[in-house]
Structure 1
Amino acid sequence: MPYANSPVQQLNDRSREVFRLIVDSYVETGEPVGSRTLSARLSQPLSSATIRAVMADLEAMGLIYAPHTSAGRLPTEAGLRFFVSGLMETGHLDPDDRALIEARCRQSSKDLPAALESTTTLLSGLSRCAGLVFAPKAEAPLKHVEFVALSDERALVVTVSSDGLVENRIISVPRGLPPSVLVEATNYLNAHIVGRTMAEARARIFAELEGHRSEIDVLTKKVVEDGLAVWGGEAGGGALIVRGQANLLQNVHALDELERIRALFEALEAKERMLSLLDIANQAEGVQIFIGSDNPLFEVSGSSLIVAPFRSASEKIVGAIGVVGPTRLNYGRIIPLVDFTAKVLTRLIG
């Protein structure tokens, strides 16, 4: 977790409680909180003058600030980092949430793209923020490919990799295509792809087709080419899913907040920048929390990112799932949500 040394030893119990209440109020309302409000919420009564003195100390330490003269106080980014790393008590995930996440993943079985789509949507709903997931293009050697007719003009291409992942893609086929063509295309691909990655298989098959060394007919050749084309031929890259952006527009209190959300939307649309999300997840084990300027992807919007990797059966990181939203996230709830979801996906893949 990318946090600098915290001032936890410098805070006494009274200062910690005041600071915790300021953060709690910010997460709840997004508004500055003053000494009079804090006085009513403290476990032990303190005068407004005493509370103001405590707040002055917290401000001198860089943990809180006043957005304008005579205002209450808000936590700074540094203060939020300190709170998350030093004071926050991470909540236990509700059993109903656990059951819902597990059930949603089980519904998708071994179909990883469907599981990622469904789970990201669910995570967005449970967190009331934007859920996102990044998974790289499959690098595991392929085990099996099959074409399945869906209608007169569509077919399903099913690929199974050596690590057990299943991907389904739909392609268009000529109307009235004989079933024997799909069988021939299936047999041809399986004779060439076993033990090779998709990129290796594409290169080998296209070279053979272009060199006219294949004995398959014209229709089968087209089905094979279209089947390979749906995976794309570029190196690197990956699948990015973002769901629940509309959640970020809820509870926007001021024009500057709306502007930050707009900047976040622009960052989410910049897919080429988002491809570094997996690198972020690779930096450490388990859940990582990036608050404001911690995160180069979203520093302009002043947003927070909570992200965790999920792994294959061989313990290789194959993707990352997380939540992005304003810095006043409910960290105590969302951190265990992301952590549990990543672990369920890891079990699904394994």
Structure 2
Amino acid sequence: MINELNQRSREIFRLIVDAYVASGEPVGSRTISRRLGMALSPATIRNVMADLEEQGLLYAPHTSAGRIPTDAGLRMFVDGLLEIGSLTEDERASIEAKCSASGRAFADVLGEASAMLSGLSHCAGLVVAPKTDRPLKHIEFVSLGPGRALVVLVNEDGLVENRVIEVPMGVPTSTLQTVSNFLSAKLAGRTLEEARQEVLQEIEQQKTQLDELSRKVVAAGLATWAGSGGANAGQLIVRGQSRLLEDVTALSDLERVRALFEALETKETMLRMLDATGRGDGVQIFIGAENVLFNHSGCSMIISPFQNSREQVIGAIGVIGPTRINYARIIPLVDYTAKVVSRLIG
């Protein structure tokens, strides 16, 4: 449709969307006349706005002369007129720092990334977290000093989980290596939950060749992941939901946001979101009523999948906000964050 508009109509439409995104208010011809780089009277601009309305790109929410873009208009703007911004070096460094594993559980990293996106975008940040019950490939115990060790788990997707555990004082490096070799052999190709009970039973019945100190380290390591599979296999992490209430001005708006909150609490929503992002490459943009994931909540979602080392989509990260969100700023934020998360997994 963008090719059907002449240069004057495109420029007027772009200015209307820019003004609406900035203020959230209907935009009138006088506002456009002041911002337009060409000499056009408000009457001429009103005629162009009427044409854009007839094409389904604008509508008047009240009886006033102001117009705002329709969902179809925003889609056309995003697809054909949007000039996507770029991140500064400081913003990239901040995202990488927030997404750093640094000994934290991967789910905690994703939660931090979601909160970071919420703060930078002034929207709700969300993450569809990967399942944590995938078969394992490797486990390793690394000394962090007296009484502490880092346990590193790597599953078949290449997802790395780090946990800090307490171990008996004076555990030598050779014992940690023995424990690493023992558990890697027991867990390889199986989920932690599948092997945990068997390993603990062997220890209890003293069927293993491990000494007493090694048994204590194994038990401490396995206890850290107790219950990490099954019910926690996959989750939707949402941060900053309260930001969705900032633009609520009417009861109908509140009802739409409430419906969105309810949708975000369902497992089905998480699976549909992951399915939707997995069907496309890079950032996916869902605008308003075209967003079947959340019915007609009046929100837009910008989301991008993250992948494992085999380039398989195992999760997604993004933001949800009002349809007038700052697409030019948020799209590169989401895109870069998803790439950073993918690097952590790989």
TM-score tier by shorter-chain length is 0.7 to 0.9
TM-score of the two chains, using structure 1 as the length reference = 0.80
The 8 Å contact of residues 185 and 224 in structure 1, kept in 2 or not, is answered as no
Partner residue of 2:322 out of 320, 323, 326 = 326
Give structure 1 regions of 4+ aligned residues with deviation exceeding 6 angstroms: 177-180, 182-188, 207-213, 219-225
The 8 Å contact of residues 299 and 321 in structure 2, kept in 1 or not, is answered as yes
Q: Does 1:343 align with 2:339?
A: yes
Partner residue of 2:194 out of 182, 203, 211 = 203
Partner residue of 1:49 out of 34, 43, 59 = 43
Q: Does 1:264 align with 2:257?
A: no
Q: What are the equivalent positions in structure 2 for 1:1-350 lying under 5 Å apart?
A: 7-106=1-100, 108=102, 111-138=105-132, 139-144=134-139, 159-161=153-155, 165-168=159-162, 189-193=183-187, 195-198=188-191, 201-203=192-194, 206=197, 215=206, 229-233=226-230, 237-350=233-346
Distance 2:103 2:225 in 1: 24
Instruction: Give the 3 Å change call, closer, same or farther, for CA 208–116 of structure 1 in structure 2.
Output: closer
The 8 Å contact of residues 274 and 315 in structure 2, kept in 1 or not, is answered as yes
Gaps of 5+ in 1: 1-6
1:57-92: CA deviation from partner (whole Å, max 9, x where unpaired): 101111011113234111100000000001111111
What is the Cα deviation at residue 292 of structure 1?
1.3
Instruction: Give the 3 Å change call, closer, same or farther, for CA 190–279 of structure 1 in structure 2.
Output: same
Distance 1:130 1:36 in 2: 34
Instruction: State the aligned residue count.
Output: 334
The 8 Å contact of residues 32 and 73 in structure 1, kept in 2 or not, is answered as yes
Instruction: Give the 3 Å change call, closer, same or farther, for CA 269–38 of structure 1 in structure 2.
Output: same
**SS of residue matched to 1:297:** helix
**SS of residue matched to 1:264:** helix
**SS of residue matched to 1:248:** helix
**SS of residue matched to 1:276:** helix
What is the Cα deviation at residue 272 of structure 1?
3.7
Gaps of 5+ in 2: 209-214
1:91-143: CA deviation from partner (whole Å, max 9, x where unpaired): 11222211211222236368532321222211111111111111221425331
The RMSD of aligned alpha carbons is 3.6
Instruction: Give the 3 Å change call, closer, same or farther, for CA 306–53 of structure 1 in structure 2.
Output: same
The 8 Å contact of residues 84 and 328 in structure 2, kept in 1 or not, is answered as yes
